[in-house]
Structure 1
Amino acid sequence: MRVQRLVAALLVALVAGCGPAVAATDDRVPPFRPAPPRPYAVGVRHFVVDPDGSRPLPVTVWYPAEPAAPAEPAIGPTAGPTGAEAASGPTGSGTTARPDVPVAAGRFPVVVYSHGLHSLPDLHAPLTTRWAAAGFVVAAPTYPRTNLRARDFTRADVRNQPADGWRLIRHLVRLDARPGDPLAGHLAVDRFAAAGHSAGGFTTAGMFTSGHSRRLRAGIVIAGGGLAGSFAGPVAPVLFVHGGADPIVPESVGRAAYVRSVGPAAFLGLPGQGHGEYLTPGRPGFAQVLAATTDFLRWTLYDDRRARDRLRADAVLPGVTTLTTRALPVGR
Structure 2
Amino acid sequence: MHRRSVLTLAIAAVAGLSACTTESENTDATSATAGTSSPAPATGAPQQTYQVTTQELQLSRGTDRPLPTKIWQPVGDGQFPMIYFSHGLTSQPDDYADLLNAWAQAGFVIAAPKYPHTWNQATVYNADDVVNQPADGQFVITEVLKALPAAINTEKIAAAGHSAGAITTVGLFTSSRDERLKAGVLIAGRQMPSPAPFSGTPAPLLFVQGKLDETVTYEEAYGAYNQVTWPKAFLEIPKGTHLPHRDQPAVVASTTTDFWRWTLYGDEAAKAKMPADASAGGVAGLTEAF
TM more than 0.5: yes
Equivalent residues of 2:171, 2:177 under 8 A apart? no
2:174 is aligned, of 202, 209, 212, to 209
Q: Provide the residue aligned with 1:21 in structure 2.
A: none
- C-alpha separation in 1, matches of 2:11 and 2:242: 17
The one-character-per-residue Cα deviations of 1:58-95 (angstroms, maximum 9, x if unpaired) are 00000101xxxxxxxxxxxxxxxxxxxxxxxxxxxxxx
Give the aligned residue type for 1:244.
Answer: K
TM-fit CA distance, 1:249: 1.0
TM-fit CA distance, 1:161: 0.4
TM-fit CA distance, 1:172: 2.1
Equivalent residues of 1:211, 1:233 under 8 A apart? no
Structure 2: runs of 5+ lacking an equivalent: 1-5, 14-40
Equivalent residues of 1:61, 1:140 under 8 A apart? yes
2:48 is aligned, of 38, 45, 48, to 38
The one-character-per-residue Cα deviations of 1:129-178 (angstroms, maximum 9, x if unpaired) are 11000000000010000000011101100010011111111112222xxx
Matched position secondary structure for 2:72: strand
- C-alpha separation in 2, matches of 1:60 and 1:211: 23
Q: Provide the residue aligned with 2:271 in structure 1.
A: 308
1:253 aligns with 2:220: yes
Equivalent residues of 1:44, 1:62 under 8 A apart? yes
2:10 is aligned, of 5, 8, 24, to 8
Equivalent residues of 2:135, 2:176 under 8 A apart? no
Matched position secondary structure for 1:57: coil
1:221 aligns with 2:186: yes
Q: Provide the residue aligned with 1:233 in structure 2.
A: 200
TM-score of the two chains, using structure 2 as the length reference? 0.83
Distance 1:321 1:256, change over 3 A: same
TM-score of the two chains, using structure 1 as the length reference? 0.73
The one-character-per-residue Cα deviations of 1:243-284 (angstroms, maximum 9, x if unpaired) are 0011111111111111111210000000022110x423xx5x
**RMSD (CA atoms):** 2.2
Give the aligned residue type for 2:240.
Answer: Q
1:113 aligns with 2:85: yes
Equivalent residues of 1:232, 1:262 under 8 A apart? no
Structure 1: runs of 5+ lacking an equivalent: 12-30, 66-103, 176-182
Distance 1:164 1:52, change over 3 A: closer
Q: Provide the residue aligned with 2:153 in structure 1.
A: 188
Equivalent residues of 1:206, 1:230 under 8 A apart? no
Give the aligned residue type for 2:64.
Answer: S
The one-character-per-residue Cα deviations of 1:21-72 (angstroms, maximum 9, x if unpaired) are xxxxxxxxxx95221101101100001212762212100000101xxxxxxx
Equivalent residues of 2:99, 2:249 under 8 A apart? no
Q: Provide the residue aligned with 1:64 in structure 2.
A: 74
Runs of at least 4 residues off by over 6 Å: none
Q: Provide the residue aligned with 2:34 in structure 1.
A: none
1:274 aligns with 2:284: no
Equivalent residues of 1:7, 1:248 under 8 A apart? no
Equivalent residues of 1:10, 1:156 under 8 A apart? no
Higher relative contact order (CA 8 A, sep 6+): 1
Distance 1:143 1:230, change over 3 A: farther
- C-alpha separation in 2, matches of 1:270 and 1:214: 30
Matched position secondary structure for 1:185: coil
1:262 is aligned, of 218, 225, 229, to 229
- C-alpha separation in 2, matches of 1:165 and 1:51: 10
- C-alpha separation in 1, matches of 2:61 and 2:176: 28
Determine which structure has the larger helix proportion and give its number.
2
Q: Provide the residue aligned with 1:164 in structure 2.
A: 136
